């Protein structure tokens, strides 16, 4: 006998149609970007809407994207900056989250409230003071200028705290009875247990800083230090002109690492986002 509470075939079909339609709407700009990267300039502004080019120009566009500007250098800069930010963020945010989750100290609630309050302050509001600070330190136009403002992540503390709170206290007490110090407990016991949340945060951090255009535009003047989005601006201003095929080809190449990164980590990403919301 069929379960009366189970959704009918029609409702499941309608649900999938709605979800697929929304997915197609979201993906359409990316599909169009890929289509333009394969077309010659003569077809890009045709009156008709054709995703598949009549004349393929993939080789010309992608070769131009890789040779007209140092695109591989931009990609390397993006990897260095995102990896540097992520490593330091985890190194600082995870122990702090442990303190907020499992240790009671004087001013605990006030410190946590200020941490959450910092999430309400947009980065743009602090950009000018940070710029002046880095100027006086002589760090503008360097990797340090791209990395240092982001090493403390309140969002990372929030995610890690939620995940650590879901770990039983008995596990922590047992580790202490085995002779583990607090430092060893954090990195050898809690970090592996919270790995789905760490991966989820890593995806958020890498996507955010890989796509960041505002801050590199302020602090970077040297083309060799440009991150991928800023490198796209250099490409558009200096080389592409009205030839959007190579520009879109470069944008596709910049987008591919993020897509590959997410596809490899999507299962852990979903687990981490779910896991980090278990406890309030």
Please tell me whether residues 206 and 126 are part of one structural domain. yes
244-279 per-residue burial string, b: 16 or more CB within 10 A, e: under 16: bbbbbbbbbbbbebbeebeeebeebbeebbebbeee
In the predicted structure, residue 253 carries a pLDDT above the cut 70: yes
pLDDT in tens, 129-165: 999 999 999 999 999 999 999 999 999 999 999 999 9
Q: Is residue 105 in some structural domain?
A: yes
Asked, for residue 104, whether it belongs to a domain, the answer is: yes
Cα torsion 130, 133, 138, 142 to 10°: value is -10
Q: Are residues 204 and 271 in the same domain?
A: yes
Domain co-membership, 50 together with 91: no
99-128 per-position pLDDT tens digit: 999 998 899 999 999 999 999 998 889 999
Per-residue model confidence (pLDDT) at position 280: 44
* Whether residue 213 is found in the same domain as residue 132: yes
Residue 59 maps to a domain: no
Cα–Cα–Cα angle for 182, 186, 190, rounded to 5 degrees? 135
pLDDT band at 242 (very low <50, low <70, confident <90, very high): low
- The string of pLDDT tens digits covering residues 16-28 is 889 898 888 888 8
**Claim to verify: residue 149 and residue 191 sit in the same structural domain:** yes
Please indicate, yes or no, whether residues 18 and 110 belong to a single structural domain of this protein: no
Structural domain count of the chain: 2
Let me know whether 128 and 175 are in one domain: yes
Does one domain contain both 39 and 125?
no
Query: Do 214 and 141 fall into the same domain?
Result: yes
* Residue 280 within a domain: no
Residue 107: domain span: 69-229+247-275
Its pTM stands at 0.84
């Amino acid at each position: 006998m069929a379960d009366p509470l189970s959704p009918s075939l029609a409702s499941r079909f309608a649900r999938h149609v709605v979800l697929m339609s929304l997915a197609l709407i979201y993906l359409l700009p990316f599909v169009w970007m890929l289509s333009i990267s394969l077309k010659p300039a003569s077809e890009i502004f045709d009156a008709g809407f054709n995703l598949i080019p009549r004349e393929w120009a993939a080789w010309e566009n992608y070769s131009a994207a890789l040779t007209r500007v140092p695109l591989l250098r931009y990609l390397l800069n993006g990897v260095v900056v995102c990896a540097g930010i992520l490593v330091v963020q985890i190194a600082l945010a995870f122990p702090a989250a442990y303190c907020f989750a499992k240790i009671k100290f004087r001013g605990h609630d006030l410190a946590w409230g200020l941490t959450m309050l910092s999430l309400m302050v947009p980065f743009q509001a602090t950009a000018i003071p940070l710029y002046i600070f880095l100027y006086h330190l002589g760090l503008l136009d360097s990797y340090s200028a791209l990395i240092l403002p982001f090493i403390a992540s309140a969002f990372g503390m929030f995610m890690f705290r939620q995940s650590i709170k879901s770990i039983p206290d008995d596990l922590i007490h047992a580790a202490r009875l085995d002779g583990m110090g607090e430092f060893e407990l954090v990195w050898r016991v809690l970090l592996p247990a919270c790995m789905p949340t760490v991966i989820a945060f890593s995806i958020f951090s890498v996507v955010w800083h890989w796509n960041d255009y505002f801050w590199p535009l302020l602090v970077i003047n040297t083309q060799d230090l440009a991150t991928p989005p800023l490198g796209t601006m250099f490409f558009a201003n200096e080389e592409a002109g009205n030839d959007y095929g190579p520009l879109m080809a470069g944008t596709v190449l910049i987008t591919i690492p993020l897509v590959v990164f997410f596809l490899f980590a999507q299962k852990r990403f979903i687990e981490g986002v779910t896991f980090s919301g278990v406890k309030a």
